[in-house]
Amino acid sequence: MGDKTDVWQGTLSLMVLKTLEAMGPLHGYGIARRIEQTSGDRLVLNYGTVYPALLKLEQEGFIASEWGVSENNRKAKYYRLTRAGRNQVKKEARQWAEASAIIARFLAPGEEAS
C-alpha cells in the first residue's frame, strides 16, 4: 500500500483551488509540493499536468497570476484565487462530497442502495 498513485481524473483542479484557498498565493512548484504533502506523499504529480491545469484554471477565470520572486531568489509565477475561484471551490467541493457519499453507499458492507 506504500505505492504512490496518480491523481484521479477531475480532481486536480479542485486540489489546486483548495490549496490556494488554504495557503494563499503560491508558485506552481509550491502548489505541486503542497498537494503531494497534503496527500501524505501518496500522490504522484506529473508537472506536465500541473502547469496545463494552472493555465486552464487561469483561462476560466478561477485563478490569476503575477510574476514575483521565490524563496530562493528566482523569478516565479505566483497564482491566487479570484472571486470566481472561491465560488468554484465551494461548488466543486459540494459536488465531490455528494459523489463520494453516493460511492460510500455502494461500498458500505451489508447495506443495499435504496
Model confidence pLDDT, tens digit, residues 51-94: 999 999 999 999 999 999 988 899 999 999 999 999 999 999 99
Lowest mean pLDDT among 4-13, 21-30, 61-70: 4-13
Please tell me the predicted confidence (pLDDT) of residue 1: 47
Instruction: In whole angstroms, give the CA distance from residue 70 to residue 7.
Output: 26
Q: Is the pLDDT of residue 11 over 60?
A: yes
Alpha-carbon separation of residue 4 from 33, 38, 65, 67, 96 (angstroms) = 14, 13, 30, 32, 22
- Domain 5-107 in this protein, CATH class: mainly alpha
CA distance 82 to 92: 15
Q: State the average pLDDT over residues 36-53.
A: 89
C-alpha cell at 80: 491566487
